[in-house]
Chain A
Amino acid sequence: MPTGRFRLVLGILMLVPGSLSSQDQRNEQFYYPGSFNWQFLRQYPEGGRLFNAFDYGHAVLYEKLYTRPRDLKRELEDRQFDYLTRDLLVRPPRFAVVEEAIEPAYAKLAWRAKLMFDWAHMLHRQIYDIYADPRLDRARQDSLIERVTDYYLSNRRLAFAARPKSMALMDDQYYSQVFRRDYPKFNGLIWAYHWLQVGLYEPLIEGRSPAERKAGVQAAIARFWSMMEAAPTRFPKVMPMTSAVAPQFSAAHPRAAVIFDNLHMTHDIISDILAADTVPAGRKRMVIYAALDQMQDSTRDVMTMDEWRNMGELMGGLGVMGGPATGLLSPQPIDHQGMDAMPMKMHHPSADSTRSDPHGGHRAPSGEQPRAPSTPAPPQPPDSASQHHHPQRMRQ
Chain B
Amino acid sequence: MFIRHTSAIRRTLGRVALAGGLLTTLHQPLAAQIDYRNLDDDRPVLTEDAYPVERHAFEFLLPYAFEDERGGGRLHAFIPEIEHGIIRNGQVGLKAPIAGARGTGETDWGLAGLRVFGLYNLNSESRALPALSARADLLLPVGSLGGDATRVSLKAIATRGWGRTRVHANAAWTLGDENNLAPLEPGHRWSYSLAADRTLFRQSLLLIGEVATRRAVKRAPIEVNAAVGARYQWTPTTVLDVGVRRRLREAAGPDLAITFGLSHAFAVSWLMPAGR
Contacts and interface: CB of A to CB of B under 8 A. Distances in A.
Contacts of A1: 173-175, 189-190
Nearest to B172: A1
Interface stretch (A90-98, A192-200, A218-226, A368-376): A90-98
A218 B265 CA distance: 31
Contacts of A111: 124, 126
A20 B31 CA distance: 28
B55 A96 contact: no
A255 B127 CA distance: 36
B151 to A, nearest CB: 11
B22 interface: no
Nearest to B57: A30
Nearest to B174: A1
A104 interface: yes
A38 interface: yes
| Chain B binding surface, main DSSP class | loop
Contacts of A17: 122
A26 interface: yes
Contact of B161 (A20, A33, A100, A151): A100
A9 B30 CA distance: 37
Interface in A6-50: 6, 9, 13, 16-17, 20, 23-35, 37-38, 41
B274 A151 contact: yes
Nearest to B129: A23
A178 interface: no
B201 A102 contact: yes
A96 B34 contact: yes
Contact of A33 (B28, B122, B273): B28
Given A93-B204, A98-B201, A151-B274, A34 B269 contact: yes
A147 B199 contact: no
A95 B233 contact: yes
A101 B204 contact: no
A104 B204 CA distance: 17
B127 A108 contact: yes
Interface residues of B, number: 56
A26 B30 contact: no
B33 A96 contact: yes
Nearest to B123: A23
A101 B123 contact: no
B33 A95 contact: yes
B200 to A, nearest CB: 10
A25 B121 contact: yes
A109 B126 CA distance: 7
A13 B132 CA distance: 10
A154 interface: yes
B174 to A, nearest CB: 8
Interface in B129-177: 129, 131-132, 134, 154, 156, 161-164, 173-175
Contact of B274 (A27, A32, A38): A32
Contacts of B267: 30-33
B236 A33 contact: no
Given A26-B89, A28-B54, A147-B276, A33 B129 contact: no
B196 interface: no
Contacts of B51: 26, 28
Given A27-B88, A94-B204, A104 B161 contact: yes
B31 to A, nearest CB: 5
B268 A33 contact: yes
Interface in A130-151: 147, 150-151
Given A96-B33, A98-B37, A33 B269 contact: yes
Interface in A36-84: 37-38, 41, 56
A370 B274 CA distance: 41
Contacts of B162: 104
Contacts of A88: 202
Contacts of A13: 134, 156
15 contacts: A6-B175, A24-B124, A25-B123, A27-B55, A29-B54, A29-B56, A30-B31, A30-B54, A33-B28, A34-B269, A93-B204, A94-B204, A105-B127, A108-B125, A147-B274
Nearest 6 pairs between A and B by C-beta? Answer: A23-B123, A1-B173, A151-B274, A96-B33, A30-B57, A33-B267
